[in-house]
Structure 1
Amino acid sequence: MGKLKSFIITFDNNKDVYQVGEIVSGKLIADVTEGIKARGVRVRFHGFAYLQWTESHGTGEEQRTESYSAEETYFDETLTVWGKELGDKAGENPTLPAGYYEFPFQYQLGKKLPSSFEGGIGYVRYYIKGIIDRPWRFNHTTKCAFTILDMYDLNKEKSAMTPSRNQNSKTLCCLCCASGLIELQTQTDRGGYCPGESVLVKGSLENNSNTKITKTSARIIQTVTFYASGRSTSRLHTLSSAVGLGCRGRTSGNIGELVLPIPAAPPSGLRYCSIINITYVAQVRAHISGPHMDLEVYLPIKIGSIPLTTPYGGSQLSEYGPAIPGVPDYPGAAAAPLPPPPTYAAVTGGGASIRDSSDSKFTRGQLTFAPKYMYYDWSQHPQN
């Protein structure tokens, strides 16, 4: 593109994460080495959700592949920063002379927008595209995504202070003979967390069988469900894991304290998006020796953006509630210090390509993107 040395988007103060209701501002920068005939220079602000997946149905010659997709738009507006307004066909088209240009832009975000999310077969994405609109030729375009955060306040979630409790049991069968009952009781320290905090899981095992429980394990599972054309499909991701204690046959005991750190992750629910939903659970598993299915317990939790606070402004560690049999010294409510100042952390696993059907092979810009979420780094903050 000999006439265009560079064409980029920059954000004021290098800010690329915005909360709902804020103003997105920056500059579209063009370094033009030779005059370009153009209708205008434009900045497009686009926020939308999109998903698509395929399924195979039938067998043999009757097998067919069905495709499912859905999309919803949150905003799509174009601002002209130079030249003729979009759709203006009157008169001659002007020429953008050679030179270095900085075109400032601003866009006011609404207050009910879902958080940015990249999930492979589906995403909630927000981007800015710079366009040099040229008559009868391909347009020069540049593109850059940014993060929008829906600030999910755990203090407004009634269940966030309440521990998540559950139990499960099973009887092993061996050579048509039933053994004694195995029971697993577990609970979390509370029901709501923010990235940077840890889910604390405790519990007890009652093993009335003759079979050894080799260990227990716990993990945080993120379930993303996508909806289209009356159907749905889900994808599961493990965010963190830990290993706890087991017990021999005909004994009982506690599983220890299993600590599950929460990495950068989108908030539960993905509010204001009707085609993607996100839920989280802490799964606890008792690993049973031999050819037996493990015993599992699921503890639903919420992940938010604003941590729990006491009436005095400090972060709150909620009560564990009633004691669990076999788990001594299970703590009650305790006030924690003020939380660390929040930062923004990108999700792990690398960025996603933000190219879509509106882009050409000539589109420039930052075309790989990983959303960032609120993160509270307790490791760098005194807690005593």
Structure 2
Amino acid sequence: MIRYRPRLHSAYKPQRTRQDSHAVCKKLPPKIKTFEISFSQCQGVFHAGGAVQGHVKIEFTEAIRVRVITVRIVGRSKVFFGPRRGREYRYQMREEYFDETMVLTEAELESFMHKPGVSYYEFMYPLAMSLASSFEGEHGYVRYMAQATLEMPDEPDLHIKKGFTVLSVLDLNEEKNVKDVALAEVSKTLCCLCCATGPITATIKIPRRGWVPGEYIPVMADVDNCSKRKILNTKIVLTQHVRYSGKVDLSDHGQTNLHSRVVAFKERGEIPPGENELWKSEMMRIPPVPPSRLVGCDIIHINYDLSLVVQPEGPAYKISVPIDITIGTEPLKRDSESSDQLSPITSSDDRKHENEERKKTITLHAKPPVPQADVIAEPPVIVVFEPQQGHDPIPESPPSYEECIFGRVEIDEGDAIEPGHGPLNYTPMYTYYNWKTMLRAASKRSFRASKTSLRISKENLADVDTAHVHGSKTSLAENGATGGK
């Protein structure tokens, strides 16, 4: 069972990484002062195809007899949903990626007297390239954990557990259609019995479909309210959709469960009848979230969309205009010609004339129609994209890692490796491109490189001048010697 601590996602700010509160064993015998797991990466983030590295730290206050010290590395995914009976759900599925136990002491000894003081036992386990990224969801997870065990003949066994994050690569440069401009439009006519009303037209446009956490999506949107009702609010919403696949047993064909949660949103207020609202280059920042598709896992599937949501007043459904996007771990490479500038959203003259005629029809005291020859077409509405910070060429710096926007999870005993010392607190970490920090670091590197280049140029120039003077002196000396003869 997973308990979530929700956060507000309307304006994400990177948070400092908290130390895992259950990385250290809480109940220790008097003879043992410290028993903990530490990873070589301070944030506990490792990449598929690499290796998990770390050490177990043990501090004894006096000599004690030890049978063996082991580390168990486990990677698995699990899905659970439907009616619940006890701790079991009707639909469940599981994938095992690895489960290995490494002995850190000499295996041939039945027991030995461990000396007092601090001791470190290092471990390393290679990770396959096909592993899925870590994920914690409402009805399932992809989870990686390490458990150290201290077995003693005279004391109960001690277990400590610590979760770590595995990230697989989703390179946007290898994905199809992620560079294409995305445009979507929905028009809906509200009607109440025999009342005639005009449509509500909602349009949303973004410069491309591929993004990474930390990037800003410049959003253009246009909501044209030609109805007789006011619009209560409009929102730009980034949503994560997760599809879980589970079975009752092996003979079952399986069922799926779809769960959605809001990643980030921005909201605006009312739109009176006959008015419109323009979102001009609204910047939507992507917080740290898992990549799309969850490559390597067959029972959990993730996708994202960016939607313009319009809420009319009265008994009417929301109008949603979604655009599917792909969130990766490797950003698109920029060249000198690439840009996130959008062409303007232009409303056609035909639609404007239709809306004007519809307004005249539903007005009680309508004026007589104007001859077509006397109608002067209004110029189209043009929205110009204004470049914002964060759209410069990507500097060659590695991304940072930030806590998942959905926060910490508390993993119960039944979902841990095995029971021992209460629930495990764990927060997945994901790649995050902080453009301001990266650009600042890139500028410093460029400045240092320029200074180094200038210094080398001065040294070379000095060497050339020295050689030139030396050559001139030699030439004069030879000429003098020749003239003397």
The verdict on a shared fold, with TM-score over 0.5 as the criterion, is yes
1:347 corresponds to which of 404, 412, 426: 404
TM-superposed CA distance for 1:373, in Å, is: 0.7
Which structure has the highest helix share of the two? 2
Q: After superposition, what is the alpha-carbon deviation per residue over 1:85-139, rounded to whole angstroms, capped at 9, x for unaligned? A: 7xxxxxx721342423211111111111111111143111111111124569742
Q: Determine the structure 2 residue equivalent to 1:235.
A: 259
In structure 2, the CA distance between the partners of 1:102 and 1:341, relative to structure 1 (3 Å rule), is: closer
1:8 corresponds to which of 36, 48, 59: 36
Q: Determine the structure 2 residue equivalent to 1:62.
A: none
Q: Determine the structure 2 residue equivalent to 1:221.
A: 239
TM-superposed CA distance for 1:285, in Å, is: 1.4
TM-superposed CA distance for 1:211, in Å, is: 2.5
- Between 373-382 and 353-362, report the one with greater CA deviation: 353-362
> What amino acid is the match of 1:5?
K
2:382 corresponds to which of 306, 328, 339: 328
> What amino acid is the match of 1:192?
G
Secondary structure of residue in 2 paired with 1:159: coil
- Between 76-85 and 302-311, report the one with greater CA deviation: 76-85
Q: Determine the structure 1 residue equivalent to 2:228.
A: 210
In 1, Cα distance between equivalents of 2:382 and 2:77 = 48
1:41 corresponds to which of 54, 69, 75: 69
Whether 1:27 aligns to 2:55 is yes
Which structure has the highest strand share of the two? 1
TM-superposed CA distance for 1:205, in Å, is: 2.9
In structure 2, the CA distance between the partners of 1:135 and 1:49, relative to structure 1 (3 Å rule), is: farther
**1:43-62 → structure 2 map (5 Å cutoff):** 43-55=71-83
Q: Determine the structure 1 residue equivalent to 2:132.
A: 114
Q: Determine the structure 2 residue equivalent to 1:73.
A: 96
- Between 286-295 and 144-153, report the one with greater CA deviation: 286-295
Identity %: 29
Q: Determine the structure 2 residue equivalent to 1:265.
A: 289
Whether 1:200 aligns to 2:218 is yes
Which of structures 1 and 2 has the bigger CA Rg?
A: 2
Secondary structure of residue in 1 paired with 2:96: strand
In 1, Cα distance between equivalents of 2:107 and 2:402 = 40
**1:160/1:190 contact within 8 Å kept:** yes
Whether 1:164 aligns to 2:182 is yes
**1:163/1:318 contact within 8 Å kept:** no
**1:164/1:188 contact within 8 Å kept:** yes
> What amino acid is the match of 2:403?
A
In structure 2, the CA distance between the partners of 1:252 and 1:29, relative to structure 1 (3 Å rule), is: closer
In structure 2, the CA distance between the partners of 1:206 and 1:351, relative to structure 1 (3 Å rule), is: closer
TM-superposed CA distance for 1:303, in Å, is: 0.7
TM-superposed CA distance for 1:37, in Å, is: 4.9
**1:41/1:133 contact within 8 Å kept:** yes
Which consecutive unaligned segments of at least 5 residues does structure 2 have? 1-28, 248-253, 348-379, 444-485
1:371 corresponds to which of 428, 452, 458: 428
In structure 2, the CA distance between the partners of 1:110 and 1:202, relative to structure 1 (3 Å rule), is: same
Q: Determine the structure 1 residue equivalent to 2:419.
A: 360
Q: Determine the structure 2 residue equivalent to 1:97.
A: 114
TM-superposed CA distance for 1:274, in Å, is: 0.9
Secondary structure of residue in 2 paired with 1:177: coil
Secondary structure of residue in 2 paired with 1:265: coil
**2:79/2:141 contact within 8 Å kept:** yes
- Between 15-24 and 199-208, report the one with greater CA deviation: 199-208
In 2, Cα distance between equivalents of 1:327 and 1:159 = 28
> What amino acid is the match of 1:23?
A
Secondary structure of residue in 1 paired with 2:323: strand
Q: After superposition, what is the alpha-carbon deviation per residue over 1:25-67, rounded to whole angstroms, capped at 9, x for unaligned? A: 111112234555554211111111123223379xxxxxxx962
**1:167/1:184 contact within 8 Å kept:** yes
Q: Determine the structure 1 residue equivalent to 2:209.
A: 191
In 2, Cα distance between equivalents of 1:170 and 1:13 = 53
TM-superposed CA distance for 1:245, in Å, is: 7.0
**1:254/1:327 contact within 8 Å kept:** no
2:394 corresponds to which of 318, 335, 338: 338
Return the TM-score normalized by structure 2.
0.68
**1:9/1:28 contact within 8 Å kept:** yes
> What amino acid is the match of 2:106?
G
Q: Determine the structure 1 residue equivalent to 2:22.
A: none
In 2, Cα distance between equivalents of 1:33 and 1:16 = 29
Secondary structure of residue in 2 paired with 1:280: strand
Secondary structure of residue in 2 paired with 1:305: coil
TM-superposed CA distance for 1:305, in Å, is: 0.8
Q: After superposition, what is the alpha-carbon deviation per residue over 1:147-197, rounded to whole angstroms, capped at 9, x for unaligned? A: 111121111112221122221121111232332222212122210111111
Aligned residues: 367
TM-superposed CA distance for 1:346, in Å, is: 0.5
Computed over aligned residues only, the root mean square deviation of the Cα atoms, in angstroms, reads 3.1
In structure 2, the CA distance between the partners of 1:296 and 1:182, relative to structure 1 (3 Å rule), is: same
Q: Determine the structure 2 residue equivalent to 1:140.
A: 158
Secondary structure of residue in 2 paired with 1:211: coil
**1:246/1:286 contact within 8 Å kept:** no
In structure 2, the CA distance between the partners of 1:51 and 1:139, relative to structure 1 (3 Å rule), is: farther
